């Protein structure tokens, strides 16, 4: 399956989400590829850290590319891998549109604040235009915050499916990335690891429908 992570609002946690999912699926024995079409190259850098600093872990294929090669590369990776995860730039450029068009599911992380919720609508419009299914993922949710519940309700009002799993604002997510790992590999018994595993179950169920 091809999963495209898209969000025109910068800083929503796209790359962290992509790496966490990739590492978890790889640890489960799935053949995983990540495709980084964001100029910052953060996801490709994570995959390089994995190869250098955690060579004992299952490998993750990585590509950093853009332009006309993207369609063919995604098709080839899809044939040879169980999961292909695409990290897109925050702008709705041609590459992002191609990645959305190729996706079996578009994952849209959104933080529960008014700026992120409002900025999510263009991404959803792009997915609608390409007729691709979407799963909104609440990210960096602060526990026991009145504002959070208000904004969670706002996310629910965007008119797209929202994952039951919410990623809390946990340091374990970022800490695991330094060695090219997911938190499932670095801290398998942590609350953060349980969140990743629960989200993967939701994604697999959504794609299989």
Distance CA 45, CA 41 (A): 6
Dist CA 81 CA 133 (whole Å): 21
Q: Enumerate the domain spans of the chain.
A: 2-208
pLDDT of residue 17: 97
Q: How many CB atoms lie under 10 A from the CB of residue 118?
A: 12
Percent above pLDDT 70 for the chain: 98
pLDDT at 92: 62
Count of alpha carbons within 13 Å of 131, Cβ hemisphere only? 0
Please determine, for residue 145, whether its predicted confidence score (pLDDT) is greater than 90.
Answer: no
Place of tokens 């900025």: 119
Which of 31-58 are b and which e, b meaning 16 or more Cβ less than 10 Å from the residue's Cβ? Answer: bbbbbbbbeeebbbbbbebbeeebeebb
Nearest to 85 by CA among 151, 153, 35, 27: 35
CATH 3.40.50.300 fits 2-208, yes or no: yes
- C-alpha 118/C-alpha 164 separation (Å) is 20
Q: Is a pLDDT exceeding 80 seen at residue 144?
A: no
- Nearest one of 72, 38, 31 to 17, comparing CA atoms: 38
The per-residue pLDDT for range 32-56, each reduced to its tens digit, is 999 999 888 999 999 999 999 999 9
Q: 21 is written with which tokens?
A: 């999912």
The predicted-structure confidence for 5-21, as pLDDT tens digits, reads as follows 999 888 889 999 999 99
With H, G, I as helix, E, B as strand and everything else as coil, classify residue 134: strand
Inform me whether the pLDDT recorded for 91 exceeds 80: no
Query: Would you place residue 105 in the very low, low, confident or very high pLDDT band (cuts 50, 70, 90)?
Result: very high
């Amino acid at each position: 399956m091809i999963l495209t992570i898209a969000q025109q609002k910068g800083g929503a946690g796209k790359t962290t989400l992509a790496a966490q999912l990739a590492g978890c699926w790889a640890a489960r024995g799935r053949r995983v590829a990540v495709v980084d079409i964001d100029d910052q190259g953060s996801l490709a850098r994570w995959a390089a850290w994995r190869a250098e600093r955690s060579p004992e872990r299952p490998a993750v294929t990585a590509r950093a590319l853009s332009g006309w090669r993207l369609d063919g590369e995604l098709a080839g990776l899809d044939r040879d891998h169980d999961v292909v995860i695409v990290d897109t730039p925050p702008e709705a450029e041609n590459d992002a549109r191609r990645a959305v068009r190729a996706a079996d599911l578009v994952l849209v992380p959104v933080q529960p604040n008014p700026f992120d919720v409002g900025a999510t609508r263009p991404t959803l419009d792009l997915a609608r235009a390409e007729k691709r299914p979407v799963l909104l993922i609440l990210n960096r949710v602060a526990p026991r915050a009145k504002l959070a519940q208000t904004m969670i309700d706002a996310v629910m009002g965007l008119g797209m499916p929202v994952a039951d799993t919410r990623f809390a604002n946990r340091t374990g997510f970022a800490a695991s990335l330094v060695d090219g790992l997911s938190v499932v590999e670095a801290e398998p018994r942590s609350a953060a690891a349980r969140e990743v595993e629960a989200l993967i179950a939701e994604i697999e169920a959504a794609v299989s429908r």
